[in-house]
Structure 1
Amino acid sequence: MSSQPGSCIVFVLLLAVFSCTSKTEDVDVTPKGPFFGVIPKDYPQLLAPELLASPLEEFNGTFNPEGTEFYYTTVVQENFSKGLISFTKLREDQSWTAPAVAHFSGEADDYDPLFNPDGSRLYFSSRRPAKDTLSPYKSNIWFIEREGEGWSAPVVLPFTKNDDYYSSLTRDGIIYFNVWSTGNLFKAIPDGKHFEVKELDSTINRPYDQGDPFVSPDEDYLIFRGYGNDALGRGDLYISFNIDGNWTLPENLGEPINSRAHEMCPYVSSDGSIFIFASGRLTKAYNTSPLTELSGIQEKFRTGDNGELNLYYMSTDFIERLRQKHLDAK
Structure 2
Amino acid sequence: MIMKKLTLIVSVTLGFCAWPLWAGELIGPGVISTGLQETSVAMSADGNTLFFMRSDLGETDDTVMVAHRRGRIWSAPDVAPFSGQWHDSEPTLSPDGKRLYFVSNRPAHAGAAPITASMAGHDFAGTNLWYVQAKAGGGWDAPVHVDGALNDGAMIYNPSIAANGNIYFSAHRTDSGKAYQIYVARRTGDGYATPEQLPLGDVSNNRMDPAIDPAERFIVYAGNEGDSLGRADLYIAFHQADGSWGKPEHLGGEVNSKALENAPSLGRHFGELYLSSDRAAEITFPKKQDTAPSLQARLSGPLNGSRNLWRFDIADVLRAHGVDH
* TM-score bucket of the superposed structures, by smaller chain: 0.7 to 0.9
**What's the Cα RMSD here?**
2.8
**Contact 2:64–2:84 at 8 Å: present in 1 too?**
yes
TM-score normalized by the length of structure 2: 0.81
Distance 1:90 1:303 in 2: 21
Q: Percent identity?
A: 26
Task: Quote the residue 1:44 is aligned against.
Answer: 24
Q: CA deviation at 1:94?
A: 5.5
After superposition, what is the alpha-carbon deviation per residue over 1:123-165, rounded to whole angstroms, capped at 9, x for unaligned? 1111111138886122011111111211011111142322111
CA distance in 1, matches of 2:28, 2:88: 22
Distance 1:285 1:151, change over 3 A: same
CA distance in 2 between counterparts of 1:286 and 1:193 reads 59
Asked if 1:150 is matched to 2:139, the reply is yes
> Per the alignment, do residues 262 and 241 of structure 1 end up closer, same or farther by CA in structure 2, a change over 3 Å counting?
same
Q: 1:246 aligns with which of 223, 244, 247?
A: 244
Distance 2:17 2:81 in 1: 27
User: After superposition, what is the alpha-carbon deviation per residue over 1:102-128, rounded to whole angstroms, capped at 9, x for unaligned?
Assistant: 111111111111111111111111111
For residues 55-96 of structure 1, the C-alpha deviation after alignment (integer angstroms, 9 at most, x for no partner) is 10111012111112100111126x8621111111234x5643
Whose Rg is larger?
1
Question: Secondary structure, in 3 states, of the residue corresponding to 2:34?
Answer: coil
State the partner residue of 1:161: 152
SS in 2 for 1:237: strand
After superposition, where does 1:45-124 map in structure 2 within 5 Å?
45-76=25-56, 81-91=60-70, 93=71, 95-124=73-102
Amino acid at match of 1:56: L
Asked if the contact 2:218/2:237 (under 8 Å) is kept, the reply is yes
Does 1:194 find its partner at 2:191?
yes
Q: Does the C-alpha gap of structure 1 residues 300 and 96 become closer, same or farther in structure 2, counting only changes over 3 Å? A: closer
Letter in 2 for 1:45: E
> Greater shift after overlay, 42-51 or 296-305?
296-305
Distance between the aligned counterparts of 1:302 and 1:124, measured in 2?
28
Equivalence for 2:6:
none
Give the structure with the larger helix fraction. 1
- Residue 287 to residue 118, structure 1, CA distance change in 2 (3 Å): farther
CA contact (8 A) 1:184 1:211 kept: yes
Q: How many residues align?
A: 292
Name 1:174's counterpart in structure 2: 166
Normalised by the size of structure 1, how large is the TM-score? Answer: 0.80
- Answer yes or no: is the 8 Å Cα contact 1:281–1:307 preserved in 2: yes
Q: Kindly indicate whether the alpha-carbon contact (under 8 Å) linking 2:10 and 2:29 is maintained by their aligned counterparts in 1.
A: no
Query: Where does residue 257 of structure 1 map in the other structure?
Result: 255
Kept in 2, the 8 Å contact 1:286–1:300? The answer is no
Between 1 and 2, higher relative CO (CA 8 Å, sep ≥ 6) is seen in 2
Give me the whole-angstrom Cα distance separating, in 2, the residues matched to 1:282 and 1:108: 30
2: CA distance, partners of 1:55 / 1:311:
11
**Corresponding position of 2:3:** none
Which residue in 1 is equivalent to 2:120?
none
Of 191-200 and 97-106, more deviation after overlay is shown by 191-200
